[in-house]
Amino acid sequence: MPELQRLRADHAPALLAFERENRDFFAASVPDRGEAYFTEFEARHQALLAEQATGAIAFHVLVCDDHEILGRFNLVDIADGEAELGYRLAQKATGRGLATTTVRALCTLAAPRYGLHTLRAETTLDNAASRTVLARTGFVPTATADFDGRPGLTYVRHNPA
Domain ranges within the chain, ordered by starting residue: 3-158
**Torsion angle of C-alpha atoms 131, 135, 138, 142, degrees rounded to 10:** 60
- Closest residue by Cα to residue 154 from 137, 129, 134: 134
Per-residue pLDDT of the chain (161 residues; tens, 9 = 90+): 899 999 999 999 999 999 999 999 998 888 789 999 999 999 999 999 999 999 999 999 999 989 999 999 999 999 999 999 999 999 999 999 999 999 999 999 999 999 999 999 999 999 999 999 999 999 999 999 998 888 999 999 997 55
Q: Which CATH architecture has domain 3-158?
A: 3-Layer(aba) Sandwich (3.40)
The pTM is what? Answer: 0.93
Helices (H), the chain: 12-21, 23-27, 35-39, 41-54, 98-114, 128-136
155, 140 Cβ separation under 8 angstroms: yes
Give the three-class secondary structure for 60: strand
